[in-house]
Amino acid sequence: MTVGFIGGKFLPLHLGHVYAIVQATSLVDELYVVLSHSEMRDRQLCQHSKMDYILPHIRLRWLSQLTKDMPHVKVISIKDDQGNEDYNWAEGARKIKKAIGKRIDYVFSSEYEYSDIFNELYPEAKHELIDPNRGHVNIAATAIRNEGVFHHWGYIPDFVKPYFVKKVVVVGTESCGKSTLTRNLAKVYNTSYVEEYGRIVCEELGGCEGIIVKEDYHKIAYGHKLEEIKAIERANRVVFIDTEAIVTQFYSNLYNNEHQTVLDEIASLQDYDLWLYLEPDVKWVDDGLRVHGEHEVRLQNNDALKTLLNNHKVDYKTLSGDYKERLLSAIGHIEELLKF
């Protein structure tokens, strides 16, 4: 039985790695994919780049997802505490040999420069180069880190992309254009979006005022989160989300005069990259579900929602003006977000 291994930092995992791993599987009976990681080294590599440090268990998860249907592939994690310039290759080889626990016949890589060190540390093994000139997949993790993930989006595996997707949430009170802006932004950026789940629940009930109960808000908050997960999995660089748990809390206060701890807890776990707040300065539209169209009431509700957001220390960008002005302003904020 032939045994080989291919190692890397996979910071991040890209299609060049995928190609090399798949090729290596065809050359041995048993392949080990070795995640070599050091927090010091990996943070050094990401410092001053356009990509943040990625925790090793996330990278290990990616490798597990990639190889889950490859029964003769095993993924192992090798940790050290060294920096990028002082990596101890001999100590690393000792740890890898111990973890594999059997004779190694092949060491796979895509780098010519590794031949001497691999021949020294694995004298019984053949160093097999896979696509060293990047003829099949012309990408390197260094380029992704330095130029940004979105610049090389086509080289990121589909199951890795959700980790990098930017989440933009659109908030505001009744009839301020949230749904319209969310849909339009999704079209502009050719991506997925999340509808306001509270509207779906209210449509199921035939309305909200006077009939919505405490448990409905839990259904709205949890249902909305599940829809977010689905949308992120389909997203193209960015996903747009119509409302979230703080807005749900606002409606619980408005319709039921009840502030719910569970909604605060959900809100505290939210992690959005950009908040867009719509002022209620467009014409109020009666769609059969809305009931707070008086000007003074709209202003009071607007202040109440802003108070909730401020209590949660949310840093939001305010959009006002007509629909064209709001769209252009939103696009400006999103373009800034996608630079990194």
- Please indicate, yes or no, whether residues 95 and 244 belong to a single structural domain of this protein: no
pLDDT digits (tens, 9 = 90+) for 95-107: 999 999 999 999 9
Tell whether 23 is covered by a domain: yes
- Please indicate, yes or no, whether residues 228 and 288 belong to a single structural domain of this protein: yes
Q: What is the pLDDT of residue 266?
A: 95
- Please indicate, yes or no, whether residues 183 and 328 belong to a single structural domain of this protein: yes
Nearest CA among 250, 232, 241 for reference residue 183:
241
Name the domain boundary from 136, 155, 174: 155
Q: Are 19 and 131 in contact (CB under 8 A)?
A: yes
User: Could you give the dihedral angle defined by the CA atoms of residues 67, 37, 234 and 332, in that order, rounded to the nearest 10 degrees?
Assistant: -160
- Taking residues 319-324, what's their average pLDDT? 92
The annotation status of 175 as a binding-site residue, yes or no, is no
Q: What is the pLDDT of residue 321?
A: 92
Name the domain boundary from 155, 179, 207: 155
* 287 pLDDT higher than 90: no
Tell whether 160 is covered by a domain: no
- Please indicate, yes or no, whether residues 126 and 203 belong to a single structural domain of this protein: no
Compute the C-alpha angle 301/225/208, nearest 5°. Answer: 40
Q: What is the pLDDT of residue 339?
A: 87
Q: What is the mean pLDDT of the chain?
A: 93
Tell whether 214 is covered by a domain: yes
pLDDT digits (tens, 9 = 90+) for 231-265: 999 999 999 999 999 999 999 998 889 999 999 99
Q: Is the peptide bond prior to 12 cis by the omega test (within 30 degrees of 0)?
A: yes
The amino acid occupying position 269 is L
- Please indicate, yes or no, whether residues 243 and 119 belong to a single structural domain of this protein: no
* 293 pLDDT higher than 60: no
Tell whether 45 is covered by a domain: yes
Nearest CA among 168, 169, 163 for reference residue 150:
163
DSSP annotation of 313 reads T
The annotation status of 111 as a binding-site residue, yes or no, is yes
Token digits of residue 318: 């305010």
Tell whether 281 is covered by a domain: yes
- Please indicate, yes or no, whether residues 195 and 246 belong to a single structural domain of this protein: yes
Q: List, in order, residues 6 or more apart from 132 with CB less than 8 Å away.
A: 110, 111, 112
- Please indicate, yes or no, whether residues 207 and 149 belong to a single structural domain of this protein: no
Q: Which residues pair with 78 in a beta bridge?
A: 36
Name the domain boundary from 120, 155, 190: 155
pLDDT digits (tens, 9 = 90+) for 196-220: 988 888 888 776 667 788 899 999 9
* 291 pLDDT higher than 60: no
* 289 pLDDT higher than 60: no
Banded model confidence at residue 292, pLDDT cuts 50, 70, 90: low
Q: Are 326 and 172 in contact (CB under 8 A)?
A: no
User: What are the DSSP calls for 160-181, one per residue?
Assistant: THHHH-EEEEEEESTTSSHHHH
- Please indicate, yes or no, whether residues 119 and 172 belong to a single structural domain of this protein: no
324: CATH? 3.40.50.300
- Taking residues 161-186, what's their average pLDDT? 95
* 174 pLDDT higher than 90: no
When divided into structural domains, the chain yields a total of 2
The annotation status of 179 as a binding-site residue, yes or no, is no
The annotation status of 196 as a binding-site residue, yes or no, is no
* 20 pLDDT higher than 80: yes
- Please indicate, yes or no, whether residues 206 and 310 belong to a single structural domain of this protein: yes
**CA–CA separation, 248 and 208 (whole Å):** 12
- Taking residues 151-179, what's their average pLDDT? 95
Q: Are 81 and 101 in contact (CB under 8 A)?
A: no
Which is more confidently placed, 63 or 322? 63
The annotation status of 41 as a binding-site residue, yes or no, is yes
Provide, for the chain, the percentages of residues in helix, strand and coil under a 3-state DSSP scheme, each rounded to the nearest 5: 50, 15, 35
Q: What is the SS3 string spanning 99-158?
A: HHCCCCCEEEECCHHHHHHHHHHCCCCEEEECCCCCCCCCCCHHHHHHHCCHHHHHHCCC
pLDDT digits (tens, 9 = 90+) for 105-164: 999 999 999 999 999 999 999 999 999 999 999 999 999 999 999 999 999 999 999 999
- Please indicate, yes or no, whether residues 222 and 290 belong to a single structural domain of this protein: yes
Q: What is the pLDDT of residue 308?
A: 96
Q: Are 247 and 255 in contact (CB under 8 A)?
A: no
- Please indicate, yes or no, whether residues 180 and 240 belong to a single structural domain of this protein: yes
DSSP annotation of 216 reads H
Q: List, in order, residues 6 or more apart from 142 with CB less than 8 Å away.
A: none
Tell whether 141 is covered by a domain: yes
Domain of 149? 3-155
User: Could you give the dihedral angle defined by the CA atoms of residues 12, 16, 17 and 19, in that order, rounded to the nearest 10 degrees?
Assistant: 150
Q: Are 16 and 139 in contact (CB under 8 A)?
A: yes
- Please indicate, yes or no, whether residues 317 and 172 belong to a single structural domain of this protein: yes
> Which run of H or of E encompasses 241?
strand 238-242
70: CATH? 3.40.50.620
Residue 284 main-chain phi, psi, to 5 deg: -70, 135
Tell whether 37 is covered by a domain: yes
Q: Which residues pair with 3 in a beta bridge?
A: 30
Q: What is the pLDDT of residue 1?
A: 94
Greatest Cα pair distance, the chain, in angstroms, is: 81
pTM of the complete model: 0.92
Tell whether 231 is covered by a domain: yes
- Taking residues 283-311, what's their average pLDDT? 76
Q: What is the pLDDT of residue 56?
A: 98
